[in-house]
């Protein structure tokens, strides 16, 4: 089996890294291509994953569209040479386009309902579109829902083990209260016109009364905030979140990661209410508190920090979530293993796999062929 995986964002490195290792352990050939964005390349190197860079993040109006066109051509050239059976990516239009053009199978993963442009140029060309069961949109016959979240592909038990030396390396102690703030760049296509935290300095000034504040930011930090920026290596971010007493930020992925790691999470975004995974984590599990107002978010954060039992309460919630959800990697590997030898594209509807062992209570494989 030959598998081509295209990485467009640092979070995608985490999502695919265990699949890459599992595929290689089973004797499959894997080629990883990447977009040079933020710490993507650093993460790939820290994971020991070989890669080929196809493009860099651009700037200015229209840069994303120009990059997509360029990446399409470059990925097509790479795919013709590598001759993969499957191409995979996270809401990745280039993967869908190249697989369609070359007659190969494509696996597209998404949990972002509001990414209208990326959805429009990606999903019509995909074979299988994998979404969490909480995903709020019906994508038709190509959609395969699974009872989990993207973040469980690398934070499910057995994949992540906290570094026992992490705190001492930062000159911190077990009883130190750590508060992590995250500010994103709002530069993605689905972030246009959206906003997050607006009162950064006030947040820091009020929250540092309750613990040590660390900032991880894609933005430039002004007003004396730069001194709070943490210099921890990108692959150690999950250790930081694991030990934190609170996460507060406008980074959605980091909010979900914090919750899964048992850390109280407060998420601030004008996108609140548009994403099914956040709705489920807030209403069913009460692990993330979502706000589109920074002042309300700050009040909630102070309330959580004022409760000495909050971290223990989140640990209980985390255990319930893990019991309810599946091993996402195992589920995806089940689909990959369906395609043996040289894959032949037979259209967008592919055979249903046996998902009973994953404990999925309400998976909906919307396909006439999947119905018996």
Number of domains forming the structure of the chain: 2
Neighbouring C-alpha atoms within 13 Å toward the C-beta of 310 = 22
In a domain, 161, yes or no: no
Contact 169, 193 (CB under 8 A): no
C-beta separation of 112 from 90 below 8 A: no
pLDDT for residue 188: 53
Give the confidence band of 321 by pLDDT, cuts at 50, 70, 90. Answer: very high
Q: pLDDT value at position 273? A: 82
DSSP state of 332: H
Asked whether residue 267 falls in the same domain as residue 185, the answer is yes
- 239 and 308 inside one domain: yes
The tokens describing 289, both together, are 């508190």
pLDDT class for 356, splitting at 50, 70, 90?
A: very low
Is residue 247 one of the residues assigned to a domain? yes
Query: Residue 25 contacts by C-beta under 8 Å, 6 or more apart in sequence?
Result: none
Q: What is the pLDDT of residues 228-282, one digit of tens each?
A: 999 888 889 999 999 999 999 998 999 999 999 999 999 999 888 889 999 999 9
- Let me know: does 267 contact 249? Beta carbons within 8 Å: yes
The mean of the pLDDT values for the chain is 87
Residue 123 inside a domain? The answer is yes
Residue 99 shares a structural domain with residue 182: no
Same domain, 114 and 172: no
- Residue-number span of the structural domain to which 127 is assigned: 2-156+326-358
Q: How confident is the model at residue 218 (pLDDT cuts 50, 70, 90)?
A: confident
pLDDT (tens digit, 9 = 90+) per residue, 106-143?
999 999 998 888 999 999 999 999 999 999 999 999 99
Tell me, yes or no, whether 316 and 330 share the same domain. Answer: no
CB atoms within 10 A of CB 204: 19
Query: What pLDDT was estimated at residue 135?
Result: 97
The more confidently predicted of residues 26 and 4 is: 4
Q: What is the gyration radius of the CA atoms in the chain, in angstroms? A: 21
Q: Based on the fold, state whether residues 320 and 331 are members of the same structural domain.
A: no
Q: Classify residue 11 as exposed, middle or buried by CB count within 10 Å of its CB (0-12, 13-18, 19+).
A: buried
Are 29 and 107 members of one domain?
A: yes
**pLDDT tens per residue across span 282-296:** 999 999 999 999 999
Q: 359: pLDDT confidence band, cut at 50, 70 and 90?
A: very low
Q: Check whether residue 317 and residue 330 sit in a common domain.
A: no
Residues 310 and 353 reside in one and the same domain: no
Strand partners of residue 291: 268
Per the domain annotation, does 364 fall within a domain?
no
pLDDT of residue 369: 28
Amino acid 196: pLDDT: 66
Q: What is the rounded average pLDDT of the residues 149-161?
A: 96
User: Once rounded to an integer, what is the mean pLDDT over residues 198-204?
Assistant: 91
How many Cα atoms within 13 Å fall on the side-chain side of residue 308? 2
- Please name the residue that has the structure tokens 């309300």: 296
pLDDT band at 351 (very low <50, low <70, confident <90, very high): very low
- 195 and 149, same structural domain? no
In CATH, what number is assigned to the domain containing residue 320?
3.40.50.2000
User: How high is the pLDDT of residue 270?
Assistant: 84
What is d(CA 318, CA 283) in angstroms, rounded to the nearest whole number?
14
Q: Please check whether residues 332 and 255 belong to one and the same domain.
A: no
Q: Is the pLDDT of residue 190 over 50?
A: no
Q: Residues of the chain with pLDDT > 90: what percent?
A: 71
The CB density around residue 30, as the number of other CB atoms within 10 Å, is 21
Average pLDDT over residues 199-205: 92
**Region at 9 (left for phi over 0; alpha for psi -120 to 50; beta for the rest):** beta
């Amino acid at each position: 089996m030959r598998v081509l995986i295209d990485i467009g964002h640092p979070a995608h490195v985490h999502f695919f890294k265990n699949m890459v290792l599992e595929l290689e352990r089973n004797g499959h050939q894997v080629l990883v291509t990447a977009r040079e964005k933020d710490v993507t390349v650093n993460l790939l190197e820290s994971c020991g994953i070989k890669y080929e860079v196809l493009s860099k993040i651009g700037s200015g109006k229209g840069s994303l569209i120009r990059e997509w066109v360029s990446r399409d051509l470059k990925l097509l050239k790479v795919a013709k040479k590598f001759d993969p059976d499957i191409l995979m990516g996270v809401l990745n239009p280039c993967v869908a386009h190249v697989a369609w053009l070359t007659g190969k199978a494509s696996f597209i993963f998404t949990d972002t309902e509001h990414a209208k442009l990326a959805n429009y140029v990606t999903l019509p060309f995909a074979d299988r579109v994998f979404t969490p069961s909480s995903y709020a949109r019906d994508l038709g016959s190509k959609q395969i829902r699974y009872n989990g979240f993207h973040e469980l592909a690398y934070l499910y038990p057995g994949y992540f083990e906290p570094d026992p030396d992490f705190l001492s390396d930062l000159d911190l102690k077990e009883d130190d209260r750590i508060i992590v703030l995250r500010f994103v760049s709002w530069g993605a296509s689905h972030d246009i016109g959206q906003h997050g935290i607006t009162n950064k300095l006030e947040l820091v000034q009020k929250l540092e009364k309750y613990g040590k504040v660390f900032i991880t930011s894609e933005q430039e930090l002004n007003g004396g905030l730069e001194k709070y920026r943490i210099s921890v290596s990108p692959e150690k971010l999950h250790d930081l979140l694991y030990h934190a007493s609170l996460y507060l930020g406008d980074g959605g992925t980091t909010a979900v990661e914090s919750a899964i790691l048992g850390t109280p999470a407060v998420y601030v975004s004008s996108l609140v209410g548009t994403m099914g995974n956040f709705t489920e984590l807030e209403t069913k599990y009460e692990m993330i508190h979502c706000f589109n107002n920074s002042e309300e978010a700050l009040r909630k954060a102070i309330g959580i920090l004022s409760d000495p039992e909050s971290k223990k309460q989140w640990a209980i919630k985390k255990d319930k979530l893990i019991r309810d959800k599946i091993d996402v990697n195992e589920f995806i590997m089940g689909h990959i293993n369906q395609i043996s030898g040289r894959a032949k594209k037979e259209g967008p509807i592919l055979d249903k796999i046996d998902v009973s062992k994953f404990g999925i209570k309400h998976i909906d494989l919307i396909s006439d062929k999947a119905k018996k």
